[in-house]
């Protein structure tokens, strides 16, 4: 759809223009290539010396042992910075009384689905239907019939059937089967040939997040390898055109302002934020082959996860997901929402990071993958705010006792004991079945 159609479907064109301005003025200003280079005193890109080239080749499978000084590097932005940009978005055409009645943080007049509409969308998650990760936990040998069905679907080679299968979860041992990928040697060569400034951001992010995570630290070498190649992949930059956003730019030969000399920087157009590496981590359990790991991650990012990191008018972009979360929490848990707001607590300030990271690093890896199964199966990210609301409902009793943001944050700090399937089912259908 073109820009005008998107604006008509979701909100006024003036609001869409303000979204683009918010990105370019508030967020991209801090993530632009020129900003990074000037503040860190480092070149955007340089050809590696022969010594550096040989060192990188010899350590390609153990990049974490390379001594790279990233002490002066800090993440360009984190989830809280991105949230402030979204909170600042307003519709210039909206009357004051229209926005003053909104109790949440998101004031953009977005159209959100009701819980009844979501029940229709996610009817395969009904409590009466068996789910991988829920019902098979009660069986000594797992769900044998479900595994037989999985084998038949994979043998058929049908993508639509595989998508239908994933709606109720995919047995862990069968997730990898059926992925046919090829390795792009050119990306590796691009990493070996040139040192980019974003490489330091990648190393820093991996050190701060995955390397300090008990579940993911063993994959540190993989993370460096895959994310370095990801930053060089020009096929990824196309996602910005889909959502009418602008990729970060650099200028060749110092010709700043000359659009004929402008190029996407990095080539992928993705500036890694604090926690970006966590989006790759769960897949490391499934794909021991770096070639498969890279291509599956790239596919997930360009189909789904990029929407979590750009501002656009798509209903399942991060702005729409935030609005849906606040709408659902108000309608499904009015007592809890009112209590939190009366204590000056905005629930979205807690849930935003969950959604921006697609819950990676927060749930156990197996549960993250079960959640991502549904993203792929339904081709939608709306499962994220649904699950986030479910987490608040699950911890409702304790949250009603809280009197401060820090106390509420503490109640929701550990999500590793949660199971995705039951919480999704209860969020969608518990009141419906009462």
187-214 pLDDT, tens digit each: 888 999 989 888 999 999 999 999 888 9
Query: Binning pLDDT at 50, 70 and 90, where does residue 14 land?
Result: very low
**Tokens representing residue 60 in the block:** 């390609």
**Rounded to whole angstroms, what are the CA distances from 171 to 142, 178, 373?**
9, 14, 10
Q: In the CATH scheme, what architecture does the domain 308-433 have?
A: Orthogonal Bundle (1.10)
H/E element, 325: helix 318-332
List pLDDT tens digits, range 64-94.
888 777 777 778 888 888 898 888 887 776 6
Three-state secondary-structure class, residue 71: coil
pLDDT at residue number 34: 54
The two tokens of residue 326 are 């606040």
How many of the other CB atoms lie within 10 Å of CB of 115?
A: 17
Q: At 172, is the pLDDT very low, low, confident or very high (cuts 50, 70, 90)? A: low
pLDDT value at position 112?
87
Select the highest-mean-pLDDT range: 55-64, 159-168, 302-311, 348-357: 348-357
> Where are the CATH 1.10.472.80 domain residues in the chain?
308-433
Q: What is the pLDDT of residue 9?
A: 38
For residue 139, what pLDDT band results from cuts at 50, 70 and 90?
low
- What are the backbone angles phi and psi of residue 314, rounded to the nearest 5°? -70, 140
Q: How far apart are CA 71 and CA 57, in angstroms?
A: 24
How much is the average pLDDT of 103-128?
86
- pLDDT-based confidence at residue 102 (cuts at 50, 70, 90): low
Structure tokens at 37: 């280079």
Which of 43-52, 168-177, 379-388 ranks highest by mean pLDDT?
379-388
The average pLDDT across 390-416 equals 97
Confidence of residue 304 (pLDDT cuts 50, 70, 90): very high
Confidence band for 275, pLDDT divided at 50, 70 and 90: very high
Split at pLDDT 50, 70, 90, the class of 8 is: very low
More confident residue, 70 or 111: 111
Look at the block and give the residue holding tokens 């729409």. Answer: 320
User: What share of the chain in percent tops pLDDT 70?
Assistant: 80
169 confidence band (pLDDT: 50, 70, 90): confident
Separate counts of helices (H) and strands (E) for the chain: 23, 4
Whether pLDDT at 181 is above 80:
no
Rounded CA-CA distance 401/101 in Å is 26
Half-sphere exposure at residue 164, Cβ-oriented, CA atoms within 13 angstroms? 11
Condensed to tens digits (0 to 9), the pLDDT of residues 337-381 reads: 999 999 999 999 999 999 999 999 999 999 999 999 999 999 999
pLDDT at 401: 96
Q: Which residues of 318-332 are buried (b: 16+ CB within 10 A; e: fewer)?
A: bbbbbbbbbbbbbeb
Residue 211 φ then ψ, to 5°: -65, -20
The predicted pLDDT at position 134 comes to: 74
Burial (CB count <10 Å: 0-12, 13-18, 19+), residue 209: buried
Determine the pLDDT at residue 73. 78
Residue 418: pLDDT above 90?
yes
Distance CA 258, CA 9 (A): 35
Mean predicted lDDT score pLDDT of the chain: 81
Give the H/E segment covering residue 263.
Answer: strand 262-264
């Amino acid at each position: 759809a073109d820009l005008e159609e998107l604006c008509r479907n979701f909100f006024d064109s003036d609001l869409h223009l303000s979204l683009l301005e918010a990105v370019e003025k508030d967020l991209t200003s801090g993530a632009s290539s020129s900003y990074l280079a000037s503040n860190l005193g480092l070149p955007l890109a340089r050809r590696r010396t022969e010594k550096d080239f040989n060192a990188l080749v010899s350590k390609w499978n153990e990049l974490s042992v390379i001594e790279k000084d990233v002490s002066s590097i800090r993440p360009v932005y984190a989830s809280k910075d991105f949230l402030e940009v979204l909170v600042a978005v307003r519709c210039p055409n909206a009357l004051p009384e229209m926005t003053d009645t909104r109790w949440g943080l998101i004031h953009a007049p977005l159209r959100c689905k009701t819980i009844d509409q979501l029940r229709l969308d996610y009817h395969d998650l009904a409590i009466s239907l068996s789910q991988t990760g829920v019902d098979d936990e009660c069986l000594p040998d797992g769900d044998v019939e479900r595994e037989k069905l999985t084998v038949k679907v994979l043998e058929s080679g049908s993508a639509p059937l595989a998508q239908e299968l994933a709606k109720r979860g995919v047995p862990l041992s069968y997730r990898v089967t059926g992925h046919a990928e090829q390795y792009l040697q050119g990306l590796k060569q691009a990493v070996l040939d040139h040192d980019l400034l974003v490489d330091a951001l990648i190393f820093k992010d991996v050190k701060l997040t995955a390397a300090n995570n008990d579940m993911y630290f063993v994959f540190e070498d993989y993370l460096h390898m895959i994310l370095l190649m990801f930053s060089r992949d020009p096929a990824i930059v196309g996602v910005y055109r889909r959502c009418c956003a602008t990729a970060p730019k650099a200028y060749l030969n110092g010709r700043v302002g000359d659009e004929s000399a402008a190029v996407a920087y990095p080539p992928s157009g993705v500036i890694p934020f604090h926690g970006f590496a966590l989006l790759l981590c769960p897949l490391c359990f499934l794909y021991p082959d770096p070639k498969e790991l890279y291509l599956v991650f790239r596919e997930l990012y360009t189909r789904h996860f990029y929407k979590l990191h750009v501002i656009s008018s798509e209903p399942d972009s991060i702005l729409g997901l935030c609005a849906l979360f606040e709408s659902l929490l108000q309608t499904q848990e009015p007592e809890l929402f009112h209590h939190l707001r009366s204590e000056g607590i905005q629930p979205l300030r807690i849930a935003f990071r969950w959604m921006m990271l697609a819950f990676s690093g927060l749930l156990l890896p197996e549960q993250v993958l079960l959640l991502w199964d549904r993203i792929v199966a339904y081709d939608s990210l709306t499962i994220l705010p649904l699950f986030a609301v479910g987490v608040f409902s699950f911890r409702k009793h304790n949250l009603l006792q809280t009197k401060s943001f820090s106390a509420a944050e503490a109640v929701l700090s550990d999500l590793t004991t949660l199971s995705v399937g039951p919480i999704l089912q209860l969020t969608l259908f518990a009141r419906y079945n009462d």
